[in-house]
Amino acid sequence: MNGPILDLVGIWTVILGLGVFFYVLLDGFDLGVGMLYGLHRETAARGIIMNSIAPIWDGNETWLILGGLALLAAFPLAFAIIIPALYFPVLLMLLALIFRGVAFEFRFKDKEHRGFWDHAFCYGSAVATFAQGTVLGAFIQGFQVEGRHFVGSSFDWITPFSTMTGVALMAGYCLLGAGWLVLKTHGELQDWARRQGRRALLLVLVAIGAVSLWTPYAEADIAARWFSWPNVALLAPVPLAALALAFAAWRSFGLKHDAMPFVYSIGLFLTAYLGIAISLWPNIVPHRYSLWEAASSESTQAFLLVGTLFLLPIILLYTGWSYWVFRGKVKADAGYH
Amino acid sequence: MSLDPVILSRVQFVWVVAWHILLPAFTVGIASYITLLEGLHVWTGKPIYLRVSKFWIRIFAVSFGMGVVSGIVMPFQFGTNWSRFADATANVVGPLFAYEGLTAFFLEAAFLGVLLFGRKLVPSWAHFVAAFMVGFGTLLSSFWIIAVNSWMQTPGGYTIGPDGRFFPADWTAIVFSASFPYRLAHTVSGFYVTTAFVVLAVGAYTIRAGKFVAEGKLMLRMALGFLTIFVPLQIGLGDAQGLNTLEHQPAKLAAMEGLWDGGSGVPASIIGIPNQAGEKNDFEIALPKLGSLYLTHSWDGAVKGLKDFPPDQRPPVIVVYFAFRIMVGVGLLMLAIVAVGWLLRWRGKFYDAVWYLKGLQWTMPLGFIAVLAGWTTTEVGRQPWTVYGLLRTSDSVSPSLTGANVVLSLLLYMAIYLLVYPTGIRFMLRIVWNGPLDADPENDTKVESGRPAEPVQALPHGDAS
């Protein structure tokens, strides 16, 4: 037999899956922090909120580039169909990320228009999150494809479902952001973050419930995936774990735990992420192309894998180190340069 | 007239990449300069290096942030607007893009945080390592993105599948395609020269402003010394890339030269107005046989002209022709500026010649103009292809896009960039006006009685803003 020794597509599925999940977690909490920034009225607290992510947001956003490029390199057919189909949400996300990214520097330097850059930061975070949520919704619903190309209209992505997932992701990122702030702040600001975390958690639960009912109702194959025997028993741990984690997160936001709200919120995201993956498996262009059909050539995947397996652990190591340098509660004197 | 998504997507790509390229053109060089200053500070212990380094780090922070966010836009353009290009070429260029992210972006981002915020949190050697890693990251990034660009210009190491898609055959030949070493050297050296002219201009301004004369002299001295080597080197590297273009992309070279009729002993067109429809140059001044001499190093060397290629395989000659002349003109001007600098040094008037320092203040944009002109030469010269000779630009655009879609996105990109870029440039200039303050109140904040103070609130107001 002449087949590959390793299942490259399987490995790349894991890498891409991890990369996207890392992005969702890391930029998720810092976009969430950006939205919470807009909800807090006090200037002093806002400074601390922003400083809690100032040294790390740039690294967090890098996972978005990696996700996009890994999709291009490992599953180019999916990239070539999905990205043009999401022309406007991707545009909105990019423009919003520009605004909030420059706000970190500009807000400190532009005293005359600080209010403007404050808005740029929180609305930029909100719009970028909403756009990512609609990307998720449109992705789950699938695209109009002919051959190797998206042939629908650039406005197909606007649906009630994608609007709902957009709002849902805003709540989700706020939950992660609140967890982060509980970890990184203390005193009144921390108490405030705990309250925001609980509010966001309630919204997230409503949203997860809505998606969990809506998708199997709308898509027969997703219903079959979850509710046919024996899947219903095998997959039951996922929703049950989600419920348990949601309960634990709720409790820990109320108790004096500093780290656990963030940890449980991450756990909740993981179960939601797994849920979506289970619904869509094994497709990467939902309802159309499987991971194997969309994969790049074996030589392409192998060439990139060699370096990736070497580089990813190093990246995680020094990224971890940069987080370690800025560990502990935020101090304003660690601020700009 | 209907809106053409191909033309509009090209305009959009030009818009987002032209603004973006200005930032690496500066950050690649300034990251290395900061590393050098930090290293000199660690090594000599002289505080002046630290003051100058801190000053440039503040400017670097603004430019790097803008570079990151405008850079995130770029890979998505290949999906949103050029999905057929992505589908056709991803098997070959996809990993190169991904390696840029893996080797460079994470390195820059992780160590940037430590460089900007961690001076008090890590030992000084670790801070130096952080500066080095950021600089090294910018160079790795240049390596990979220019590998992609070079492959599009001079593709190698591929096979073409039955559906027209490219597949890898030889990775070494893909990464190190025919024009890659020349392009990489010419581009990175160009970025360094661009940065050095910014340092030169800022140094001249700082001396003239009179508050930080020692720092200004240091910048001026370092920049002139650097440019003395790199401007001639850059001109030599440009010549080498030109000869490489003659070999591998003769139509582009003919457009750069404005050469319609090929043959042996071709003239050198000094200036004229290329007329694409008439297949000639209007109002031309040309010197006979000189073209063959510098292109082939022989008076009678044979060079192909534009008429040797079918009209639908020629680039827009007028754009390439003038962009090339602007780049060369700026290069020669740079050489003159350096020469005058040495003349003044030799007479001991380098720091005192007011007219020279005044003039230097205006040299800040020179490198950027040359970079944009050089980039226009090579990219417009590649037309009408995205992959030279193999994949047409008109066959690369996303099939689902309408002209109206692209008009809308283009207008939004224009509005946002026109707001963000001038603002960022204004902030950087303001840092320059404030000068290399030792303890900069704008950025060094204090802890008040153990409680963190809000950074901006801690500012003493009324300084030079």
ipTM confidence: 0.87
Would an 8 Å CB–CB cutoff place A299 in contact with chain B? yes
Nearest to B280 by CA among B253, B261, B308: B261
Q: Measuring CA to CA, how many Å separate B52 from each of B27, B35, B116, B203?
A: 16, 12, 14, 10
pLDDT score for A4? 55
Task: Give the model's pLDDT for residue A34.
Answer: 93
The whole domain housing A34 covers 8-331
Please report whether residue A337 resides in a domain: no
pLDDT recorded at residue B351 = 83
How far are the Cα atoms of A92, A141, A214, A235, B305 from residue A220, in angstroms, in the given order? Answer: 31, 12, 11, 17, 63
Q: Which of residues 46-65 of A touch B (CB under 8 A)?
A: 46-48, 51, 54-56, 58-59, 61-62, 64-65
Residue B89 tokens read as: 């070429």
The mean pLDDT of chain A is: 88
Instruction: State phi, psi for B52 to the nearest 5 degrees.
Output: -65, -40
Q: How confident is the model at residue A186 (pLDDT cuts 50, 70, 90)?
A: confident
CB pairs under 8 A between A and B: 288
CA–CA separation, B128 and B139 (whole Å): 17
Which candidate from A87, A102, A111 shows the least CB-CB separation from B401? Answer: A87
Q: Which A-chain residues 86-115 have CB contacts (< 8 A) with chain B? A: 86-88, 90-91, 94-95, 97-99, 101-102, 104-111, 114
Cβ contact (<8 Å) for B101 and A101?
Answer: no
| Burial (0-12, 13-18, 19+ Cβ within 10 Å), A48 | buried
Query: How many independent structural domains does chain A possess?
Result: 1
Check CB contact under 8 Å for A44 and B79: no
How high is the pLDDT of residue B327?
94
d(CA A181, CA A192): 9
Q: Which of A72, A150, A330 sits opposite B452 (nearest CB)?
A: A330
Contact B400 A95 (CB under 8 A): no
Which CA distances in Å does A101 have to A31, A54, B66, B187? 10, 10, 8, 27
Q: Which of residues 307-336 of B touch A (CB under 8 A)?
A: none
- pLDDT, residue A17, reads 92
Is the model more confident about A120 or about A329? A120
- In B169-303 the beta strands, taken as DSSP E runs, fall at 263-264, 268-275, 280-287, 302-303
Task: Give the span between the Cα atoms of B274 and B315, in whole angstroms.
Answer: 12
**Each residue of A216-248: pLDDT tens digit?**
888 888 888 888 888 888 888 898 999 999 999
Question: Is the distance from CB of B116 to CB of A105 less than 8 angstroms?
Answer: no
Contacts of B106 in chain A (CB under 8 A): 59, 62, 66, 315, 318-319
Q: What is the mean pLDDT of residues A112-129?
A: 89
Do B149 and B178 meet the contact criterion of CB atoms below 8 Å apart? no
pLDDT at B442: 43
Q: Beta strands B451-452 and B447-448: pairing type?
A: antiparallel
CA angle A114, A55, B202 (to 5 degrees): 70
Instruction: Encode B120-158: b = buried (16+ Cβ within 10 Å), e = exposed.
Output: ebbeeebbbbbbbbbbbbbebbbbbbbbbbbbbbbbbbb
Residue A166 has pLDDT above 90, yes or no: yes
Q: Kindly report the CA angle at B309 between B306 and B312, in degrees rounded to 5?
A: 105
pLDDT at A3: 52
A145-146 vs B280-287, strand pairing mode: unpaired
For residue B134, the chain A residues in CB contact (below 8 A) are none
Residue A2 lies in a domain: no
Q: Which of A12-26, A146-160, B106-120 has the lowest mean pLDDT?
A: B106-120
Taking each helix axis from N to C end, the angle separating B180-209 and B366-382, rounded to the nearest 10 degrees, works out to 160
Query: What's the rounded mean pLDDT across residues A58-80?
Result: 89
Residue A1 lies in a domain: no
Q: Are B94 and A319 within 8 A, CB to CB? A: no
Question: Cβ of B454 and A332 within 8 Å?
Answer: yes
- Whether B261 and chain A come into contact, CB under 8 Å, resolves to no
- Secondary structure tally for chain B: helices H, strands E: 14, 10
Non-local CB neighbours of A270 within 8 Å, separated by 6+ positions = A21
pLDDT of the residue at A138: 92
Q: Which of A69, A51, A49, A57 is nearest to A27 (CA)?
A: A57
Q: Is residue A282 part of a domain?
A: yes
CA distance A195 to A173: 15
B273: left (phi over 0), alpha (psi -120 to 50) or beta: beta
Confidence of residue A5 (pLDDT cuts 50, 70, 90): low
Separation between Cα atoms, residue B288 and residue B47, nearest integer Å: 58
What is d(CA B143, CA B185) in angstroms, rounded to the nearest whole number?
10
| A74 found inside a domain | yes
Sequence-ordered list of residues with C-beta below 8 angstroms from that of A179, at least 6 positions apart, any chain = A29, A197, A249, A261, A262, A263, A264, A265, A266
Mean pLDDT of A95-109: 85
A232 falls within a domain:
yes
Give A222-231 contacts, CB < 8 A, sequence gap 24+.
Answer: A222/A279, A222/A280, A225/A278, A225/A279, A225/A281, A226/A278, A226/A279
* pLDDT score recorded for residue A20: 92
Yes or no, beta carbons of B79 and A319 under 8 Å apart: no
Is B97 an 8 Å CB contact of chain A?
yes
- DSSP notation for A195-241: HHHHHHHHHHHHHHHHHHHHHHHH-HHHHHHHHSTTHHHHHTHHHHH
Percent of chain A with pLDDT over 90: 47
Cβ contacts (< 8 Å) between A321 and chain B: which residues? 110
Contacts of A315 in chain B (CB under 8 A): 102, 106-107, 110
The pLDDT tens digits along chain B (465 residues) read: 578 899 999 999 999 999 999 988 898 899 999 999 999 988 888 888 988 998 999 898 888 888 888 888 988 999 899 999 999 999 999 999 999 988 888 888 888 888 888 788 888 888 888 888 988 998 999 999 999 999 999 999 999 989 889 999 999 999 999 999 999 999 999 999 999 999 999 999 988 888 888 888 999 999 999 999 999 999 999 989 988 898 899 999 999 988 888 888 888 888 888 888 888 888 888 888 888 888 888 888 888 889 999 999 999 999 999 999 999 999 999 999 999 999 988 888 888 888 988 999 999 999 999 999 999 999 999 999 999 989 999 999 999 889 899 999 999 999 999 988 998 898 888 888 888 775 544 444 332 222 233 333 333 333 333
Distance from CA of B38 to the nearest CA of A (A): 14
Q: Looking at the domain assignment, is residue A153 inside a domain? A: yes
Residue A228's pLDDT is what?
A: 86
B454 contacts A46? CB cut-off 8 A? yes
Which of B79, B94, B112 is the closest to A84 by Cβ? B79
- What DSSP string describes A298-310? HHHHHHHHHHHHH
Residues 6+ apart with CB under 8 A from B76: A68, A83, A90, A94
Residue A229 located in a structural domain: yes
User: Distances in Å between the alpha carbon of B311 and those of B245, B253, B278?
Assistant: 19, 15, 11
CA gap B19, B33 in Å, rounded: 22
